[in-house]
């Protein structure tokens, strides 16, 4: 089963917040099995703008270089993904960016890795690995 990482999950790892060990072990497993986690370019953009806004250009560039070394396959937002995200946004109380992560999980019949409670809106539609649960 493909595993999908949202911005919250990646930020949890980068900032070593509660739950980062789960992501660290997923990265190790992904590397060993050559089965990278998926993330949309929209959600990666979220991570980049947050770091840029909070820490500046130099830190954002540094983090971008770190992310490129992680076992994450970045999926660009084509029409199929965008259409699925738009369908979610039309009927769910979620940010548009989060709809892309959920849409990627739907399309790939995958598991979304997050701690963001906003995804409770799609919990009946996708499998979710909650970072804040033991």
10 band by pLDDT with thresholds 50, 70 and 90:
very high
Total-model pTM: 0.94
112-132 pLDDT, tens digit each = 999 999 999 999 999 999 997
For the chain, what is the domain count?
Answer: 1
Q: From CA 81, how far away is CA 104, in angstroms rounded?
A: 7
CATH of the domain at 60: 3.40.50.1010
**How much is the average pLDDT of 57-81?**
97
Give the C-alpha separation, 6 to 113, whole Å: 7
CA distance from start to end of the chain? 21
């Amino acid at each position: 089963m493909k595993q999908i990482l949202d911005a919250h999950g990646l930020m949890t790892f980068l900032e070593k917040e509660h739950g980062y060990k789960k992501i660290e072990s997923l990265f190790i497993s992904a590397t060993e099995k050559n089965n990278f986690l998926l993330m949309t370019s929209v959600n990666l953009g979220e991570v980049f703008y947050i770091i840029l806004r909070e820490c500046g250009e130099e830190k954002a560039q540094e983090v971008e270089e770190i992310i490129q070394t992680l076992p994450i396959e970045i999926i660009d937002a084509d029409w199929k993904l965008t259409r699925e995200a738009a369908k979610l946004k039309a009927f769910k109380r979620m940010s548009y960016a989060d709809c892309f992560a959920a849409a990627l999980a739907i399309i790939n019949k995958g598991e979304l890795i997050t701690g963001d409670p906003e995804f409770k809106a799609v919990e009946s539609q996708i499998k979710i690995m909650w970072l804040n649960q033991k």
